[in-house]
Amino acid sequence: MSNMECRIMGIDISVREEKMDRYIIPSVFQAVQLCEVLANSNSGLRASDIEHALKIPRSTVFRLIRTLLGARVIDKKGTRYVYGRRIYEVTATDMSRRSAQQELVSPLAALIKGHECSALIGIPSENGALVVDVIDASLTCISPYRPGAQLGLFDSALGQIVLAHYSFTFYKAHQQTVDAIKSAETSLASKIRTEICTRGFSITYCSKNENTLLAVPVFSVDGELSAILSLYFSESIKDVLKIQQWTQKLKSIARIQKQEIKK
């Protein structure tokens, strides 16, 4: 019996064909392979590219694509398919191991050192923003927003950044978010977008706990919203000069991150 050479996530595994049939679900195995080839592609792949790379029938490729698109494991941009945001949401607790996030963690930690505040890193999600990492500068000021927390589109600075900048093709693909937008006052949504796009940041206050969230967007080189940087203060910050100073510091980190991605 001949051996079948398999490669999953960069690891070569020699599996006898009879064992492949018995223990491995072919469609799941092919889906993993498809995700791997997309992960190794900088600009995404067309269906024909995937067919050629995996050497499987075109009909199988389209069924895999349809399934993975439905689960948001992959996304479609034009005629190309790319890794979907769902991958990051599912693995949010492991985001600190990702090189892109590590590049944000270090300068954020340096920024808040010695101050009574926390730094948050978020990414766009269905309901607003998903917190993927939190850095607390002091034991006396611990952010109540922890990794995995979902922050709303309208009531959080991070969510408002998503509302203002994230592509509406994303909203159209996720009815829950569309419903959330429709249920809010149209004038409020328009006001939020205008203010954030004009000043380049968002700030929200929690009247119950008298805390402040300040957030700025991080854009990829192609102009898409890739992350949100935020600062949490356990007090209500209303001083305009102080807000501007913190905002500029956050924006400088966001610009550095964009340059690093470009390299």
Topology (CATH level 3) of domain 3-84: Arc Repressor Mutant, subunit A (1.10.10)
Q: What's residue 46's pLDDT?
A: 94
Contact 259, 106 (CB under 8 A): no
Copy the structure tokens of residue 71: 């689960």
Q: What's residue 202's pLDDT?
A: 95
pLDDT > 60? residue 180: no
Cα-only R_g, the chain? 21
Positive or negative, the Cα torsion across 58, 63, 68, 70? positive
Q: Where in the chain is the domain with CATH 1.10.10.10?
A: 3-84
**Which of the residue ranges 2-16, 84-98, 155-169, 193-207 would you say has the lowest mean pLDDT?**
2-16
CA end-to-end distance (rounded Å), the chain:
47
Q: pLDDT, tens digit, for every residue of 183-242?
A: 555 677 788 888 898 899 999 998 666 899 999 998 877 777 888 999 999 999 999 999
Q: What's residue 104's pLDDT?
A: 86
Q: Name the architecture of domain 92-262.
A: 2-Layer Sandwich (3.30)
Query: pTM of this prediction?
Result: 0.60
Mean pLDDT, the chain, integer: 78
